[in-house]
Amino acid sequence: MKSALITGITGQDGAYLAKFLLSKGYRVYGTFRRLSTPNFWRLQALGVFPKVKLISMDLGDFSSISEALTASKPDEIYHLAAQSFVGASFEQPISTSDMSGLATTRILEATRIHSRDARFYQASTSELFGGSQLGPRSESSPFEPQSPYAAAKLYAYWMTKIYRESYGMFTTNGILFNHESPLRGLEFVTRKISNACARIGLGLQDKIRLGNLEARRDWGYAPDYVESMWMMMQQDKADDYVVATGVSHSVADFVQLACERLNIDMSTHIRIDKSLLRPLEVDRLVGDAKKAKTLLHWEPRLGFSDLVTLMVEADLKRWKDWQAGKFFPWDAPLYPDANNIIVTRYSLDR
């Protein structure tokens, strides 16, 4: 039986990947960090919580990373843990550089020392491309990071390649474009919209405050994307792959479809909040996943319209179940009202 170690198993991708690897017969270990309140709701929602072995690890702590490797003796390491919110990276640029950048080197070093034969996956991102180019981005497109998050991830991308080329280790970069699901964090725009629309539909909320409605992203479905991670790790030779649907939509398109699904009048409920505009924005991202399609035989299964429907319906069902007094693993009732969160870096600078 193969063993896999997933850093960041409590996140969106970590939970879906754990479920996928269990279905493939892996023994799955996952790292979590100590919080004042445990955060295992995604693993519980997918029904895999009792089936994974959990190891406490913090990305800033090399000894805990080493212990995670020696305890799990992994054949495959999926390094997903990071400060993953671009917006927060402007508010916390130094810790983001550490957790989304330098931490990858800590894990690569620990892997070189303790698990040199293990295969290593780095969660790279379409944010590396940044900039304002128009066309679809592939593995050979130039990088032009536009945020502390993207700059940190670019460093991690290069370190992953450097360990491959210097030490002959199997290290791979999955350059994944945005992927979403009902398990997405509530601060990301798609889930913010699906959750708010569900609440508006039920009369629990009146307005959604959003930033740049014109930004365009190539949005796919997270369970499809975690499969590509595993496929990269099964190849004879380590390499880097772009994973994307090849189609982009604007934030306004997402809002419009979500409102249509619930018969909500978009103009009445949407408000633009300038404090949610980023100091530097990536206006549009669309990917060219030809290499992944050809070599990995990966294909996205769920399209944009079905993704919006799935997310809106999932949040609507949750709020209805909650109103009916049902108890189930879920994040939204514990989340503060977005209007109560001050976006410091942006609002102070404007």
Per CB under 6 A, residues contacting ligand NAP are: 8, 10-14, 33, 35, 39, 57-60, 80-84, 99, 123, 125, 176, 178-179, 185
Partner whose footprint covers residue 10, from ligand GDD, ligand NAP, none (CB < 5 to 8 Å by kind): ligand NAP
Give residue for tokens 């919580």.
Answer: 49
Tokens of 7: 């850093």
Q: Quick one: which of 101, 211, 220, 287 contacts ligand GDD (CB under 6 A)?
A: 211
Touching ligand GDD, residues 263-292 (CB under 6 A): 276, 278, 281, 285
Partner whose footprint covers residue 146, from ligand NAP, ligand GDD, none (CB < 5 to 8 Å by kind): none
Radius of gyration of the chain (CA): 20
Beta bridge partners of 135: none
Residue 276 zone, left/alpha/beta (φ > 0; ψ -120 to 50; rest): alpha
Shortest separation between residue 185's beta carbon and ligand NAP, angstroms: 5
C-alpha atoms less than 13 angstroms from C-alpha of 278 in its C-beta half-sphere: 20
Buried-exposed string 212-239: b where 16+ CB fall within 10 A, e elsewhere: beebbbbbbbbbbbbbbbbbbbeeeebb
Residue 115 binds ligand GDD, judged by CB under 6 A: no
Q: Quick one: which of 31, 66, 72, 127 contacts ligand GDD (CB under 6 A)?
A: 127
149 as an active site residue: the answer is yes
Buried-exposed string 265-281: b where 16+ CB fall within 10 A, e elsewhere: eeeebbeebebbebeeb
How many angstroms separate the CA atoms of 59 and 106, rounded? 8
Instruction: Give the residue ranges of DSSP H helices in 262-343.
Output: 266-269, 290-291, 304-323
Residue 14 binds ligand GDD, judged by CB under 6 A: no
Site string for ligand GDD, 242-261 (x = CB under 6 A): ---------x----------
Binding span for ligand GDD by CB under 6 A among 37-45, 105-113, 186-194, 263-271:
186-194
Output DSSP code: residue 75.
S
Partner whose footprint covers residue 164, from ligand GDD, ligand NAP, none (CB < 5 to 8 Å by kind): none
Q: What share of the chain is helix, strand, coil (3-state, %, to 5)?
A: 45, 15, 40
109 as an active site residue: the answer is no
127 as an active site residue: the answer is yes
Give residue for tokens 């992994």.
Answer: 74
CB atoms within 10 A of CB 263: 7
Partner whose footprint covers residue 289, from ligand NAP, ligand GDD, none (CB < 5 to 8 Å by kind): none
CA 118 distance to own-chain centroid: 23
> Which of 55/156 has CB closer to ligand GDD?
156
Give residue for tokens 């970069």.
Answer: 173
Shortest separation between residue 340's beta carbon and ligand GDD, angstroms: 14
- Among residues 16, 26, 149, 225, the one annotated as catalytic is 149
Q: Quick one: which of 122, 125, 181, 195 contacts ligand GDD (CB under 6 A)?
A: 125
- Among residues 7, 96, 111, 125, the one annotated as catalytic is 125
Quick check: 157 and 108 in contact, CB under 8 A? no
How many residues touch ligand GDD under the rule CB under 6 A: the total is 22
Chain positions contacting ligand GDD, by CB under 6 A:
84, 86-87, 125-127, 177-178, 187-189, 192, 210-212, 215, 217, 251, 276, 278, 281, 285
Q: Give the residue numbers annotated as catalytic, written as ranges.
A: 125, 127, 149
